Amino acid sequence: MNLSKRPAGGRSVVVVHYRTAALAALAVAAVERTWVATRRPGDRLLLIDNGSTAAEREALSRLPCELHSGHGNIGYAGAINRAARACDDHDLVVLNADLEALPECIDQMFSALAAGISVCGPALFWDRELTIHMPPAQAPHPLAALGEALEGRSRLLDRHLRQAFRRAAHRHWNARAPIASWRLSGAALGLRHDALARVGPFDEGFRLYFEETDWLRRARRQGGTARYLPGARAAHLYDRSPDPPGGGKAAWFEASATRFRRRHQPHLGSLLERLAGSRGGRRGVTPPASVTGCPEASRWVEWSPRASGFPMAARRGADCSLPADLAPRAGGLWVRCVDARGRESEAR
């Protein structure tokens, strides 16, 4: 996909929410507050409302944005497609409602798109203080998928998988300039308009999860370019999205994972599904209710929602205390400490 630089064209920021009206208002306010330096007449800010009460819609209608509502829950993919149609040939920056952009985040993402990059993503953090790096997306490679399916079957394998993920994560977290990377989060994506036209719409068959992974894989196969932008920063607040109806997040995740495997990993798909269905794991292990400290030699403190320890978020240093806005939601996180040589120790 050969995309060249072009004169400045239309640009739109799109916030997508489902039953998170209060967070959506904060996300819109953050965009209004921070998208200043390069904002031009004709640039648009849209809020795609996939689910809200009448009272919430009334409140959202007063926000300084274009509200698109009344269509029901069309999913994240459907919301992006709806925005792309409404904005015609605009470059898009698409944000989850639980994401708060910092100054220059939106500007840097649009600048990368204007320079010819097909898709880009910012550095994301679990907290508003920007101390805990959010993990990069997991690699969609078949071997990576096989490793994830085998997660929890042995401590040795889990350690190997943690080390492999940690190397990829540190490449992103230590970056000081944009790097080529397809391990971008769907929570915040910059999408160049002609890349959207060439790759096609997001697949609305992914009701939740994997819709961006599928689109990114298609874009990569068509020769697109992707950049991780460490200077563009945003807080993606941990565990703020509500459960969808009809089975909850876990059921929707597995349904989308199955759809992705069957499309992109057909030779491994059935094996991966069997392994996922019989996954062992340390289900009897309970995350520590409280952690008092890590060894002084720790270079990183890692948090993961899985006992296997990956994917993991991380903070530099040995401080394993959690920010006030994250602590009440962290009861299901496992904690590990890692020194400069990659040696692990459990938090105390």
Tell me if 274 is assigned to some domain: no
CA distance 340 to 266: 40
Judgement on whether residues 191 and 336 belong to the same structural domain of the protein: no
Compute and round to an integer the Cα radius of gyration of the chain: 20
Please tell me the total count of domains within the chain.
2
Check: CB of residue 125 under 8 Å from CB of residue 274: no
Q: Tell me which H or E stretch contains 212.
A: helix 211-221
Tell me if 193 is assigned to some domain: yes
Judgement on whether residues 81 and 214 belong to the same structural domain of the protein: yes
Phi and psi at residue 74, in whole multiples of 5°? -95, 10
Judgement on whether residues 96 and 218 belong to the same structural domain of the protein: yes
CA distance 281 to 286: 12
53: Cβ contacts below 8 Å, ≥ 6 apart: 21
pLDDT for the residue numbered 317: 93
pLDDT for the residue numbered 23: 96
pLDDT for the residue numbered 246: 59
pLDDT for the residue numbered 207: 77
Judgement on whether residues 184 and 306 belong to the same structural domain of the protein: no
Judgement on whether residues 228 and 341 belong to the same structural domain of the protein: no
Tell me if 129 is assigned to some domain: yes
pLDDT for the residue numbered 31: 98
Judgement on whether residues 305 and 210 belong to the same structural domain of the protein: no
Whether the pTM exceeds 0.75: the reply is yes
pLDDT for the residue numbered 298: 86
CA distance 84 to 107: 19
Question: What is the domain extent for residue 126?
Answer: 11-138+172-236
User: What residues of the chain score a pLDDT lower than 50?
Assistant: 1-7, 280-286, 288-289
pLDDT for the residue numbered 77: 95
308: Cβ contacts below 8 Å, ≥ 6 apart: 151, 152, 158, 161, 162, 281, 282
pLDDT for the residue numbered 239: 82
